[in-house]
Amino acid sequence: MKDMIIHNAMFGLVVGDALGVPVEFKSRAYLKLNPVVDMMGYGTHHQPAGTWSDDSSLTLCLADSLCDGYDLKDISQKFLQWFNAEIWTPHREVFDIGIATTEAIKMIKHGTDPVLCGGASEMDNGNGSLMRILPLLFYLKDEKDLKIVFKSVKEVSSITHAHFRSVFSCFIYIVYGLELLKGIDKREAYANMQLTLKDFIADHDFEQKEIDLFERILIDDISAVSENDIYSSGYVLHSLEASLWSILTTGSYKDAVLKAVNLGDDTDTTGAITGGLAGLIYGLESIPENWVNSIVKKVEIEKLCEKMNAVLIKKQRYNIADLNENDEFLFFWGHHSPKKEILTKACLSQWWPSTFVEDDITYQTAEHYMMAKKALLFNDQEVFEKILTTESPKDVKDLGRQIKSFDVKKWDAHKFDMVKQGNLLKFSQNKALKAFLLQTKSKILVEASPADGIWGIGLAEDHFDAKTPKYWKGLNLLGFALMEVRDELSER
């Protein structure tokens, strides 16, 4: 279920972790004879069934913090609170803490800058940041600039693990997750991830000997590697390979996490890393119900997932993942009509001239409304007033780029609702425009702008991929906003 996407991933991770806790450090040979087949308790750490480890604790801490925005200091303080058994422990005590994480948290306690707390030597490449990076996926899900994604991943990883190898392992995991969020097949997502990272690496001066370590993942096909050549220690590269291998060589959540756990050694972490993405792929409904119900503090985790969903997942009624090439599309782009007396699809453009009023303020176009609200969001009264007295929507757009104290994350959290509201006013206050929008009925409205990867699809109407949504280069936010406006007008 797409509206449960955070629940899918978070419970996928926690369940995978809990499956591995009782057999952590058991060898593969031992687990061949005594495989994990169901949720069980006690064992290595003498904990009851459904108990999760530091893998889940730190993941939940990160998720909790991201609900209040991206703040490295707050993330690190939540790690410290957990270390002191104040938050996100299954039984009010901590156990199974990695050495690198322990040392980093000691530095956090002494007030060190969070990004300087993680070990940066080659010996500091345990899996302690990879195991907890999953929530960042949802925070970054709409970010198109991979440089920004990499920067965020690097910062969050570096709180405990700052070496390039750890950072890049987290980055691979997040990029694969971003592909999966598009709703495509796991193998196609894997291939896309390889191509994306090939280009990203080519644009950066990374140390080649480090990049070469990821060859089995990025150049070869990790799923083609034999089990004997897959390792499951606490080394970050082993954990990443084992998790991707477990996902790509199985066909269900249950099979993926059991395969991961039964590799032995660092069973809880391999299970958690595998489980997060497997949950994303197969959904919460694919996880055995008794496994989910056994999870300690299940209700608290559900509440956190609901909070994450409210904050990090935009409540759009329409998404690319819900579309297919058999849908009927109405492509539009540009705001000029061949004949002024004839209303055409050009009226769907943000730049189409049609005045409307809100709170005694008249807006000349939907673009004027959008940029004016953007200025007010960042308390830039000067730009706001200029927008209201500027005629050209192009000039208004340029003014929007001059707004002081602009913060992209804050803008991303509000922009869709602003554009939707502006268009609701535009179409509801003009009978002809309203009639035109309503007569599009159930068509998928698509801004076929080859230059806009946010509001449009990043492709022209005549591009061979334009009618295949999974290959769109943009988010089509304007098209989806207009469809929501159409729904609301038709319900009135």
Token pair of 166 as six digits: 């750890």
24 to 37, 241, 264: CA distances (angstroms): 15, 18, 7
Amino acid sitting at position 336:
H
- Tell me the CA end-to-end span of the chain in Å, nearest whole number: 29
* Token pair 């080394």 in the structure block, residue: 235
465: number of Cβ within 10 Å: 14
- 121 annotated ligand-binding residue: no
57 marked as binding residue: no
Rounded to an integer, what distance in angstroms lies between the CA atom of residue 312 and that of residue 69? 9
Cα torsion 77, 55, 169, 411: sign? negative
Count CB atoms within 10 A of the CB of residue 466.
Answer: 20
Determine whether the annotation assigns residue 360 to a binding site.
no
Q: Is 417 annotated as a binding residue?
A: no
C-alpha 139/C-alpha 134 separation (Å) is 10
Residues 6+ apart with CB under 8 A from 102: 83
User: Is 54 part of any known ligand binding site?
Assistant: yes
Beta bridge partners of 119: 161
Short-list 315, 314, 244, 255, CA closest to 286: 255
Structure tokens at 41: 């308790």
Instruction: Determine the Cα–Cα distance for residues 287 and 244; give it in Å rounded to an integer.
Output: 18
- How distant, in Å, are the alpha carbons of 80, 167, 312, 426, 471 from that of 151? 23, 10, 19, 39, 26
Q: How far apart are the C-alpha atoms of 71 and 74, rounded to whole Å?
A: 5
142 marked as binding residue: no
Pairing type for strands 444-447 and 329-332 reads parallel
Tokens encoding 129: 């940041």
The CA–CA distances, whole Å, from 360 to 88, 357, 418 equal 49, 6, 17
Question: Could you tell me which residues are annotated as the binding site for Mg(2+)?
Answer: 53-55, 266, 268-269
Annotated binding site: 53-55, 266, 268-269
